[in-house]
Each structure stands twice: as C-alpha cells, then as structure tokens.
C-alpha cells in the first residue's frame, strides 16, 4: 500500500469532521456562498475540499461514483482506506465526484422518488475556480439574490423544475466549497443570453 | 475538557455522518421530513433525543451552546442537555440568546431575532402534521407527495365553525416555500411569524419518530389560513409583570394562595436582559405597582 493512501485523512477525525460538516452545512443552507474547508490532503486529482467532503459524509453506507480522472488507482485506494465507501456506477451512487464534464449526463443519477425525494444523489463537482460571480441564484437560504460561478445554467434550471425531486450539488476548487441545492432558482448572469 | 470516555459529542462518527447527510437533504428540501436511524441516547425520549442528536451532529468545539425549555434556561431538562454537551463536546455554554451559536429549544423561539451566525435546533415530539388526520405513515407520505393537504384545511375550518376562530394555538401547521406542510413543533402560534425569513438555520429533530427536517435561512413559511379567517398570532393583553415588555410571549403564574396571577415573559433571558436595562414591570416595583 502506498504512503499516499494512508496519509491525507483528518488529523483528529471527530473534531475535523465537525468543522468540515459545519462548513458544508452552511454552504448548503446558503447557496452561492463560497467557504474554505480544510483538513484533508487527498491524492491528485482530488481537491483538498472534495477530500474533506468525502471524509465528512462518506462511509460504508454511501455508494460513491468516481467520474473521469477521479476514477484512478490513487483515489480509489485513498477513498477505500479512509471511508470504506463502495464504488458504484452513476445510477446507483449516493455521492458522485468529478469534473462537470466527467459527471455528465445528469440523467444518469437518482433524483429520489415522490415519497422519498431525499433518496437522491449529491454531486461533488470539481471546478477550476469558484467565486461569487456569474449565474444569479434566488430561493431558500438566499435573502435577496446570490451569484455563483456555475459551469452552466440550463442544467440547474432543469434540475429545479424537478423539485421536490432533483440533485444537490457541492462545488469544490482547491480548498473552497459552495453548494447549490435543488431548491435554488438559477438564471443567467445579467447581460448574458437567456437560456432555459 | 471533554470526558474522554465518550466520542466527541457522544455519538459515534458513523451515526453523526448519517445524521449529517439527513440534515443536508433536509436543507435541500425545506419542510420535508427526512427519515433517519435514531440512536438511543442516555436520556428519556421525552427529553428531546431528536434535538440532542441533531445538536451532536452540528456542534464544533468552538460553539457556545444554549438550551431553552419553554423559554427557560434553568429547567432540569435544559440544564442536563447543556451540561451533557459541555461534558461530551467541551463546548462553552451560555444563557444569553445573543451570545449563543447553537440554541436547542423545546416549545419556543427566542424573542430576540436570531442572526446569520446562529443555528436553532428544535426538539420535536410528533413531526408529522397530518398524523392526527391519518395514523398510517404510508398514507401521510403519499399525501405529502401528492400535496393532498385538503384534510388539514378541513380540520382548521371545523375549528372556525365550532369556535368562530381557529382554535389551534400550538404546533400550528405551516406551508414551506409553497410546497410541504410542516409541523413547527409545539411552539405557540405567537412564534409562527418568526419561522419565515429567519436569518438563522432552523433544524428539527424527532427522536422517537426518527425524522429530521429543516428550514434554510430566509425561507418562505406561511401559517395555514383562509381568506375570510386570516392567521392571527396570539397576543397577550398584558405587559410582562417583570419587564413591562408588550411584544413577548407571556406565561401566566399563580403568585399567592389567594389565586393572584401575574404574567411574565416565557423567554427568561429576554425578560432578565430587559430588567437589567432598566425596564421594570408593575409586579416588580415598576409603574402601576400595587
Ligand atoms: Zn418580561
């Protein structure tokens, strides 16, 4: 087993997970806010933020789908050692991880059922950058409106139309994280062509 | 110092992860009840084990934790939950609403408006607002999925025809973001207007019934009503006898053997802070004192 596999977990798991969860929860409760999330050092190509999310939320009860370049030996071994999460295909996962391009098409993932809309996938989207600009967000958790550098607009508008079913998204980049639950209304940034 | 015989905040990590995942789904689907596998806690169910499990999943060592029971910080229940997390999570505690970062509550929302840095955790006995209309979980789940809330309106309307007004005064049902009907826990309907557009995160935990639900900040929450009978939050017709507040929820106290009564803020922190700021009620030596 490689040293890389054994390292990069939370130094003090219960405490680090408590801080990391609060950051994830604040992000999900306040869509569009960008926060720092620390404590994990996963192997490439995973960002430290994505690593912290996996350590905080995943275990043997959460099937994970690794998309594209994230599905490599180093990441698989690290995830198995630190979380024990079973690896599955897109349609059976509770969490999916990869770049926006690698995670497509979104139609593969579970959006929950009308009686159990919570049984839906959460996608961890690795982004080249993440900041509070771009697409305009409104809805629960947002006092007036927020902005977030989403990879596109149309997919999130389509996801919102499924409410209360739908996917929930965590965006990670370096040590930064933001979120977009299914409840958020997304529109194109001012000046951009409206797409729906 | 935390008690090393326990994991941080008592619950094991796997249980906390499960609760944390349920909280995130609850925040993503405001007002929807997420099932979770409730654990035995070292306290009876009636003591708010659902709220305790949610608090255990959200607390960090940096938090300042407050617990209120019907507005009071000093009941047996509030004191033991506060000391439980002081011991198992090493958190600081406070009775001041303003200073708390996480507030666990039974049956009240603090009078002082909560802020963005705060989380309000409710202890919920019966999370299902449709339960008294339909005992079967499979049926209430179907009713929520189809937005079949007609029966709920019928029940409220029966109140009106019988009493001339909606008699439900606690656990008054609300509709969240125009979608799910939700039980706000047995808070007085006086508190209902505070549920919507709140800056703080609101989390609801029902231990025995194994449900978690949530309201993100600034969520639209409407108390169910009718065009000809709009929702009216109850309002006491007295000022507080201790601090003279006219905007707070009051408890009625019997103060002597002759049946003398006094009305006092149920939120003890609010009342004490007002008295400390020089607001004195008529039963406290203030203007109009007997
Ligand atoms: Zn008072």
Choose the closest CB to A15 out of B8, B17, B27.
B8
Choose the closest CB to A118 out of B16, B25, B216.
B25
3-state secondary structure of B198: coil
CA of B269 to the centre of ligand 1 (A): 9
- The answer to whether the beta carbons of residues B247 and B274 sit under 8 Å apart is no
Q: State pLDDT tens for residues A56-109.
A: 999 999 999 999 999 999 999 999 999 999 999 999 999 999 999 999 999 999
Q: What angle do CA B82, B86, B87 make, to 5 degrees?
A: 120
Mean per-residue pLDDT for B135-161? 92
- The answer to whether the beta carbons of residues B88 and B6 sit under 8 Å apart is yes
CB within 8 Å of B220: residues ≥ 6 apart: A140, B176, B177, B178, B196, B197
CB within 8 Å of A1: residues ≥ 6 apart: A77, A81
Q: Please tell me the distance from the alpha carbon of residue A125 to that of residue A168, in angstroms, as a whole number.
A: 10
Q: State pLDDT tens for residues B233-254.
A: 887 788 999 999 999 999 999 8
Question: Cα dihedral sign for B15, B64, B117, B216?
Answer: positive
Total-model pTM: 0.96
Mark out the alpha helices in chain A (DSSP H runs): 3-6, 13-29, 48-57, 73-83, 100-103, 154-160
Domains of chain A in start order, with CATH, are 3-182 (3.40.50.11310)
Scanning the structure block, which residue is given the tokens 């929450």?
Answer: B221
- Judge whether B26 counts as a catalytic residue: no
Mean per-residue pLDDT for A5-31? 96
Q: How many CB atoms lie within 10 A of CB B167?
A: 11
Mean per-residue pLDDT for A114-118? 98
Q: State pLDDT tens for residues B186-218.
A: 999 999 999 999 999 999 999 999 999 999 999
- Judge whether B71 counts as a catalytic residue: no
Which run of H or E residues covers position B155? helix B150-163
The residue from B26, B240, B241, B281 that is catalytic is B240
Choose the closest CB to A30 out of B13, B34, B217.
B217
Q: What's the pLDDT at B1?
A: 47
Q: State pLDDT tens for residues A32-58.
A: 999 999 899 999 999 999 999 999 999
CA of A188 to the centre of ligand 1 (A): 49
Contact A30 B9 (CB under 8 A): no
CB within 8 Å of B262: residues ≥ 6 apart: B241, B252, B253, B255, B283
Contact B20 A21 (CB under 8 A): yes
Q: What's the pLDDT at B290?
A: 46
Residues of B in contact with A142 (CB under 8 A): 218
Which of A57, A62, A142, A164 has the highest number of chain B CBs within 10 A, making it the mutation to test binding with B? A164
Q: What's the pLDDT at A1?
A: 60
């Amino acid at each position: 087993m490689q040293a890389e596999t054994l390292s990069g977990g939370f130094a003090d798991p219960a405490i680090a997970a408590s801080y990391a969860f609060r950051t994830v929860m604040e992000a999900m409760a306040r869509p569009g806010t960008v926060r720092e999330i620390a404590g994990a050092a996963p192997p490439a190509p995973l960002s430290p933020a994505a690593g912290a999310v996996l350590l905080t939320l995943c275990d043997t009860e959460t099937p994970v789908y690794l998309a594209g370049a994230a599905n490599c030996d180093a990441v698989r071994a690290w995830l198995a050692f630190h979380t024990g999460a079973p690896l599955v295909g897109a349609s059976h996962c509770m969490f999916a991880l990869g770049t926006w391009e690698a995670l497509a098409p979104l139609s593969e993932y579970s959006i929950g059922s009308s009686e159990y809309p919570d049984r839906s996938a959460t996608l961890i989207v690795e982004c080249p950058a993440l900041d509070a600009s771009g697409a305009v967000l409104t809805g629960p958790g947002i006092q007036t409106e927020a902005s977030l550098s989403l990879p596109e607009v149309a997919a999130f508008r389509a996801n919102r139309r499924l409410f209360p079913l739908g996917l929930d998204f965590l965006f990670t980049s370096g040590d930064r994280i933001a979120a977009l639950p299914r409840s958020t209304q997304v529109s194109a940034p001012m000046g951009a062509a409206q797409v729906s | 110092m935390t008690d090393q015989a326990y994991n941080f905040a008592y619950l094991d990590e796997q249980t906390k992860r499960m609760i944390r995942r349920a909280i995130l789904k609850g925040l993503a689907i405001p007002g929807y009840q997420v099932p979770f596998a409730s654990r035995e806690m070292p306290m009876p169910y009636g003591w708010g084990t659902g709220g305790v499990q949610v608090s255990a999943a959200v607390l960090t060592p940096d938090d300042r934790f407050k617990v209120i029971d019907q507005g009071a910080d000093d009941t047996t229940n509030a004191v033991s939950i506060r000391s439980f997390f002081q011991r198992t999570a090493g958190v600081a505690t406070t009775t001041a609403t303003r200073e708390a970062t996480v507030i666990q509550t039974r049956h009240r929302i603090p009078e002082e408006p909560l802020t963005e840095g705060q989380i309000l955790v409710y202890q919920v006995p019966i999370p299902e607002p449709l339960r008294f209309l339909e005992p079967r979980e499979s049926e209430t789940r179907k009713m929520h999925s189809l937005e079949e809330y007609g029966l709920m309106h019928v029940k409220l309307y029966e109140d009106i025809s019988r009493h001339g007004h909606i008699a439900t005064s606690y656990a008054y049902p609300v509709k969240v973001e125009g979608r799910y009907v939700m039980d706000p826990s047995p808070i007085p309907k006086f508190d209902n207007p505070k549920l919507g557009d709140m800056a703080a995160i609101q989390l609801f935990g029902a231990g025995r019934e194994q449900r978690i639900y949530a309201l993100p900040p600034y969520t639209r929450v409407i108390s169910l009503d009718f065009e000809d009978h709009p929702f009216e939050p109850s309002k006491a017709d007295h000022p507080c006898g201790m601090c003279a507040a006219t905007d707070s929820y009051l408890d009625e106290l019997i103060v002597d053997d002759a049946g003398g009564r006094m009305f006092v803020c149920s939120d003890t922190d609010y009342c004490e802070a007002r008295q400390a700021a020089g607001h004195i009620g008529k039963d406290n030596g203030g203007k109009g004192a007997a």
